[in-house]
Amino acid sequence: MKITTTYNSDYEYTSSTEEGQKVKIDMKDKGKTDMSPMQLVLSALSGCVAVEVALMIQKRRKKLVDLRIEAEGTRRNETPKGFTDIHLKFILVSPDATVEELEKVTKLGLENYCSVGNSLKANVTFDCAIERP
């Protein structure tokens, strides 16, 4: 997987995939029009878990009427201001699924299947290189 992030202005960037999908990144304190990188991390996590949960509910032949995830992250006060805790609140409407089934699929989705969640927990190796055109 490859992403290219391009400078637009001091606090605004655009990230693009090789297929041409784009997301804008906005780091301004005021007048922000797009999400910050940390908001995008929460969005990526909740989106990843949502897909996994929805698929598992459907595989169990249960009806999924609505699924929303409210993600809230607590960050360190000191730099780097990464997340120390992330709370996910699932709002699920599935008339034929029990609470126990919903709890099981949300736990499995987050802990076993969501690659974003697993990446946040993992020790990821970073490598950097500088290239001048």
- Do 50 and 9 lie in a common domain? no
Judged against a pLDDT cut of 90, whether residue 125 lies above it is answered with no
Residues 73 and 28 in one domain: no
Residues 63 and 110 in one domain: yes
| CA 64 to the chain's CA centroid | 21
Structural domain containing residue 2: 1-34
Residue 89 and residue 45 share a domain: yes
What is the C-alpha to C-alpha distance for residues 30 and 26, in angstroms, rounded to an integer? 10
Which pLDDT value is given to residue 123? 82
pLDDT on residue 126 = 86
Residues 24 and 83 in one domain: no
- CA distances to 34, 46, 62, 86, 101 from 38, rounded to whole Å, are 12, 13, 33, 11, 31
Residues 41 and 78 in one domain: yes
Residue 71 confidence (pLDDT): 97
Note the pLDDT tens digit of each residue in 95-107. 999 999 999 999 9
Same domain, yes or no: 22 and 5: yes
Q: How many domains does the chain have?
A: 2
pLDDT digits (tens, 9 = 90+) for 21-61: 999 999 998 999 999 999 999 999 999 999 999 999 999 99
Q: Taking the complete model, does pTM exceed 0.85, yes or no? A: yes
Identify the pLDDT of residue 107: 94
- Is 8 found in the same domain as 63? no
Segment 113-125 shows an average pLDDT of 92
Dihedral (C-alpha) 37, 39, 41, 45: value to the nearest 10 degrees? -160
Q: pLDDT digit string (tens) for 7-18? A: 999 999 999 999
